[in-house]
Amino acid sequence: MAKPHTRQELVNYGLRQLGAPVLEINIADEQIDDLLDDTIQHFHERHYDGVVRTYLKYELTKEDIKRGGDFNPMVNPGITTVGPVTYPNPPKQVEDRYIENSNWIHLPDYVIGVEKVFVPPEATGGGGVGYPNLIGSDGGLAGGCGGGGFGGLAGMGYLNGGDMISYFMAKQWMATFDYMFNPDAAIRFNKRMDRLYLDINWRRLSAGDLIVVDCYRALDPEQFVEVYNDSWVKKWFTALLKKQWGQNLMKFKGTRLAGGIEMNGREIYDEGVKELEQIKNDMSSWYELPPLDMIG
């Protein structure tokens, strides 16, 4: 069918584009499965429609807290190197021990990127530091007076009237205060590890505390079947099939069929490679999110 919604329908579509059933497409079923898996993986990693931004809520366990806060370097030394050094003379073998922290939680393999993690404020050094109600009794924005520098808008005076300029100044102050005393959690993530490292104060957290992971997850084509009908997926998969077909036929170079026909796998292979290059070039213009340049 022209609008595939399953793996097999997409396979049949790609083979028909190459001439089946009029022509015999010399590709093994195992090769087709591999090419389709490669197509979906490329779609997830490069196409803006291959992922969706989502928020995952996670409840910390005792094991998470122990691994993040009670790491014992004597139990798990991490990385150890041994080599000769020239200190002191004469050179001798010295063992260098590097400790790799274990402050991570496991993420599902469908998560391919993490933007931000929301954690309790005490885990990032904030310790619950905040500011009181900034609205005065007359509806104006009240300045801090008695917060010891931490509570309220100390030094800004009385922001009378509640006008937009005063409100804007108060919001600017609050944003600066949050940046300094309630910073975001420092995170590290690599999609090939499925581990989200949280460089936070784990000892201030407890089992049952919640964190929220702002991340990008890959679309499961079995759940969201429109992936199989994506125009880019169909074109890329068909080009991969053509390239593989030509590569298989090249093994029979010089073989003549009945009637003197000679199979030309090289030409089919070259066409497939050319189509893949064209689709790859179009990817940067049409299907990828543009890089964010710094301006200033």
Q: Which helix (H) or strand (E) holds 173?
A: helix 164-181
Residue 139 binned pLDDT confidence (cut-offs 50, 70, 90)? very low
Q: Where are the domains of the chain?
A: 7-47+230-287
Task: Please tell me the predicted confidence (pLDDT) of residue 246.
Answer: 94
Task: Give me the residue label for tokens 């801090």.
Answer: 144
Long-range contacts made by residues 208-211, C-beta under 8 angstroms, separation at least 24?
208/59, 208/60, 209/59, 209/60, 209/120, 210/57, 210/58, 210/59, 210/60, 211/57, 211/58, 211/60, 211/117, 211/118, 211/119, 211/120
Higher pLDDT, 89 or 51: 51
Q: Which residues pair with 95 in a beta bridge?
A: 82
Q: Which of 49-58, 87-96, 142-151 has the highest mean pLDDT?
A: 49-58
pLDDT at 229 over 80: yes
Q: Which residues pair with 218 in a beta bridge?
A: 51
As a whole number, mean pLDDT of residues 90-114 equals: 81
Task: Please tell me the predicted confidence (pLDDT) of residue 269.
Answer: 94
Task: Please tell me the predicted confidence (pLDDT) of residue 134.
Answer: 47
User: Is this prediction's pTM over 0.85?
Assistant: no
170-203: pLDDT as tens digits? 888 888 888 888 888 999 999 999 999 999 999 8
The answer for residues whose C-beta is within 8 angstroms of residue 212's C-beta and 6 or more apart is: 55, 56, 57, 58, 117, 118
Residue 72 binned pLDDT confidence (cut-offs 50, 70, 90)? low
Alpha-carbon gap, residue 68 to 172, rounded angstroms: 34
As a whole number, mean pLDDT of residues 226-235 equals: 96
Task: Give me the residue label for tokens 């009237």.
Answer: 161
Task: Please tell me the predicted confidence (pLDDT) of residue 190.
Answer: 93
Task: Please tell me the predicted confidence (pLDDT) of residue 85.
Answer: 60
Task: Please tell me the predicted confidence (pLDDT) of residue 183.
Answer: 86
Task: Please tell me the predicted confidence (pLDDT) of residue 220.
Answer: 95
- Which of 67-71, 142-146, 159-163 shows the lowest mean pLDDT across its residues? 142-146
Q: Where are the beta strands (DSSP E) in the chain?
A: 51-59, 79-85, 92-98, 104-106, 111-118, 186-190, 195-199, 210-218
Task: Please tell me the predicted confidence (pLDDT) of residue 1.
Answer: 60
Q: 133-171: b or e for each residue (b if 16 or more CB lie within 10 Å)?
A: ebeeeeebbbbbeeeeeeebbbebeebeeeeeebeeebe
Q: At what angle do helices 265-282 and 231-249 cross, to 10 degrees?
A: 150
Higher pLDDT, 39 or 251: 39
Task: Please tell me the predicted confidence (pLDDT) of residue 89.
Answer: 65
Residue 253 is which amino acid? K
Alpha-carbon gap, residue 48 to 289, rounded angstroms: 6
Residue 71 burial (CB count, 10 A): 16
Alpha-carbon gap, residue 244 to 250, rounded angstroms: 10
Cis peptide before 21 (omega within 30 of 0): yes
* pLDDT more than 70, % of the chain: 71
Residue 121 binned pLDDT confidence (cut-offs 50, 70, 90)? confident
- Cα dihedral angle (168, 169, 175, 179), rounded to 10 degrees? 160
As a whole number, mean pLDDT of residues 151-167 equals: 59
Alpha-carbon gap, residue 87 to 275, rounded angstroms: 60
Residue 264 is which amino acid? N
Residue 147's SS3 state is coil
10-35: pLDDT as tens digits? 999 999 999 999 988 999 999 999 99
Looking at every residue in the chain, the average pLDDT score rounds to 81
Handedness of CA 270, 273, 279, 283 (dihedral sign): negative
